[in-house]
Structure 1
Amino acid sequence: MPSTKNALLRYAAIDACLQRTTQTWSFERLRQQVAATLAEHVDSAGSVSIRTLRDDLKNMRPGGATGYDAPILFESERGYYYSEVNYSIFNSPITINDLPALQQAFGVLQQLVGLGLSHELGGIVERLELRLSGQMQDAQGIICQFEQPTSYQGQGWLEPLYIAVQQKQAQRLLYQPFGTSQPVELLVHPYLLKQYNGRWFLIAQRDKWEEALSIFALDRIQHIAKADLSFIQHEGEVSQFFTNLIGVSILPQAELAEIRLRFAAKRLPYVLTKPLHTSQRVDNVTGEVTLHLVPTRELVSLLLSYGGDVEVVAPLVLRDNIKQEATRMLHYYL
């Protein structure tokens, strides 16, 4: 169990003790009770040092690192106690009726925590889990099961690049694209982090390359360092670059086009209920699906995933591209 969760268990144990106002809680007795709680929930001896308990009490009090601002006092005859009647660090307006929505939100929050973008968010999720743990045992169990993010090689670069984008800092990248034998050093001005299909990409402008934006896969980055350059602000909203795209890579000479697709009758209902893109429109007479997109490699892959259930009617260049890929695939099975 992570050390942060151990700390939360210790805070919960201290809180439970101090709510039992009929008993006297000396420092040593409090330490033994906290150790017993750890032993019950953690696969260890559950020992708690004097320094650890002192730090915990300090962190829980007003001005402490936890933000609990717990009114903990000490008197030689009375021991440790809360000066406010019925106080608990878990007092909140959250009720059992809030649990279904909160349980569903946990899946989303925990995926964000996994990105490493906010240590504070991780602490919030853990405290909320601990706050609701007793009530959740009586709930119905998992109602919504979210996809778990897979381990991603470039995940370690998310936090420093997030900060670089936020603080508008030029960066020096050591970058090795697939198919190359050696990495190259690049100076870039980062604008946006974008996720697609489980992978993360940095959208940036290469220094002295003012013509177009560049896209870098985080798993191909070997090193990042702040560059001693004045940051170049991009004109316009960078996220709008992807408005007419599926994915992050544009086919050579590709331009915005009207893409017409004809789906098999058995597959069309799935496409209607889960559109391929926000520009999707359907002709109620012919059943043709129309998209307004710049063709990308990811669009080609998406269309190929439908197999024989889709035909690209237009444009001709995309139709030929799909035909070439289908022909190449066929050679494997002849």
Structure 2
Amino acid sequence: MPVNRNALIRYKTIDTCLRNRRRRWTLQNLIDKVSEALYDYEGMEKGISRRTIQADIQMMRSDKLGYNAPIIIVEKKYYTYEDADYSITNIPLSEHDLSRMTEAVEVLKQFKGFSHFQHLNAVVQKLEGHVYASAHDQRTVIDFEKNEHLRGLSHLGMIYDAIVREQTMLLKYQSFRAKSASIMHFHAWWLKEFKNRWFVVGTKNDSPAIVTLALDRIEELKIDETISYRPNDQGHTPEEYYQHTIGPTVAKIRPMKATILVTPEHAPYVLTKPLHRSQKVESVGPEGTTISVVIEHNLELEREILGFADGMKVLGPERLRANIQRKLQRAAGNYGKDDSKNEQPA
């Protein structure tokens, strides 16, 4: 049975509410939450009727969509799930769903050889793994790194929609360094993922400068239709924006040529997974492999180098070399002789 986008938003919102057992949900509470969600995602201002929500609850309770949701009413007033672990997102795929998803995967696989669709490869692999596992009643054979408890993931959908629909966002944001949160209007241009953290890139309403915000620092978020959206008129693209950097932050400083000696033990890992797209092999000798990268000097670059510990030695430039040396010396100091006094006897 086909379900339109608005119905899916309503079902998911009701599901989210009923899974939150720290609050008691009346029918009016559910109506309010669903109306807010429809406004945020679809811009619907008229709200939703009592009859629609009642029909949605009945649909979720039935097997027409395969939900069979155990929704009960307690004290003749409050709605909740009888099974505290239930969620409509946990139900297994039906044979019809599996068939349609298999068809979709086969279509997407046709694009894997085209350069314009290289970014689809990981998506197709994920879908193939999940479809195969569901169809054969076994665990997925492909596992991707993920952090499902990362803060801010709930904002992804709304931010994505705001970018596609060119809508201005009003958000409450507090960086790790700020003492208090600030309120700002933000014009989002694209989303950036780096090591399982998500960032949104765009401009603030009061400045044309490009800003990167971490989703896990966003405390509140909503769409503000009263403020005109500022589009990406300069044509900035992620490919061009990050060409001289590692990570999500771009300082827009002149790139430097960093030369690094990699020990024989670690060289194979760096050669098969380059630090940066500009990486080149300068020389190979008994002490290791010397590589170079043309890149901005930022915190993410230093963290990549420090992650190899004694497996890398920065040869230049001097500023990068001195920063790495100072941090390694400070780290070594954390394991001084005094620490041996705290060791427990065997």
TM surpasses 0.5: yes
Contact 1:250 1:295 (C-alpha < 8 Å) held by counterparts: no
Deviation track 1:137-182 (CA, whole Å, cap 9, x = no partner) reads 5x8x754333343311111111110011111111111111113232
SS of the residue 1:160 aligns to: helix
Structure 2 unaligned segments of length 5 or more: list them: 1-7, 9-57, 67-94, 110-121, 337-346
- Matched with 2:296 is 294
Counterpart CA distance in 2 for 1:196 and 1:91 is 31
- Matched with 1:108 is 126
Equivalent residues in 2 for 1:122-141, closer than 5 Å:
128=131, 133=135, 136-137=136-137
- Matched with 2:48 is none
- Matched with 2:309 is 307
After TM superposition, give the deviation of residue 322 of structure 1 in Å: 0.9
Larger Rg belongs to: 1
SS of the residue 2:170 aligns to: strand
After TM superposition, give the deviation of residue 230 of structure 1 in Å: 1.7
- Matched with 1:226 is 223
Counterpart CA distance in 2 for 1:257 and 1:129 is 46
Contact 2:132 2:140 (C-alpha < 8 Å) held by counterparts: no
Q: What do you get for the CA RMSD once the two structures are aligned?
A: 3.6
Structure 1 residue identity aligned to 2:216? D
SS of the residue 2:324 aligns to: helix
After TM superposition, give the deviation of residue 289 of structure 1 in Å: 0.6
- Matched with 2:244 is 244
- Matched with 2:172 is 174
Count how many residue pairs are aligned between Structure 1 and Structure 2: 230
Structure 2 residue identity aligned to 1:191? W
SS of the residue 2:334 aligns to: helix
- Matched with 1:164 is 162
Contact 1:191 1:238 (C-alpha < 8 Å) held by counterparts: no
Q: 1:214 aligns with which of 211, 215, 229?
A: 211
Deviation track 1:229-251 (CA, whole Å, cap 9, x = no partner) reads 22222212231211211112356
Structure 2 residue identity aligned to 1:283? E
- Of all paired residues, the percent bearing the same amino acid is 24
After TM superposition, give the deviation of residue 89 of structure 1 in Å: 4.8
Contact 2:168 2:223 (C-alpha < 8 Å) held by counterparts: yes
- Cα–Cα, structure 1 residues 153 and 110, in superposed 2: closer, same or farther, change >3 Å? farther
Counterpart CA distance in 1 for 2:259 and 2:62 is 65
Contact 1:175 1:220 (C-alpha < 8 Å) held by counterparts: yes
Contact 2:172 2:184 (C-alpha < 8 Å) held by counterparts: yes
Structure 1 residue identity aligned to 2:198? W
After TM superposition, give the deviation of residue 256 of structure 1 in Å: 0.7
- Matched with 2:181 is 183
Task: Say whether 1:154 aligns with 2:152.
Answer: yes
- Cα–Cα, structure 1 residues 199 and 89, in superposed 2: closer, same or farther, change >3 Å? closer
- Cα–Cα, structure 1 residues 261 and 54, in superposed 2: closer, same or farther, change >3 Å? closer
After TM superposition, give the deviation of residue 265 of structure 1 in Å: 1.3
After TM superposition, give the deviation of residue 278 of structure 1 in Å: 1.3
Contact 1:177 1:220 (C-alpha < 8 Å) held by counterparts: yes
- Cα–Cα, structure 1 residues 191 and 110, in superposed 2: closer, same or farther, change >3 Å? farther
SS of the residue 2:201 aligns to: strand
Structure 1 unaligned segments of length 5 or more: list them: 5-50, 61-87, 112-124
- Cα–Cα, structure 1 residues 274 and 222, in superposed 2: closer, same or farther, change >3 Å? same
- Cα–Cα, structure 1 residues 307 and 167, in superposed 2: closer, same or farther, change >3 Å? same
Counterpart CA distance in 1 for 2:98 and 2:199 is 42
- Cα–Cα, structure 1 residues 91 and 191, in superposed 2: closer, same or farther, change >3 Å? closer
Counterpart CA distance in 2 for 1:232 and 1:269 is 46
- Matched with 2:22 is none
After TM superposition, give the deviation of residue 53 of structure 1 in Å: 11
Contact 1:150 1:198 (C-alpha < 8 Å) held by counterparts: no
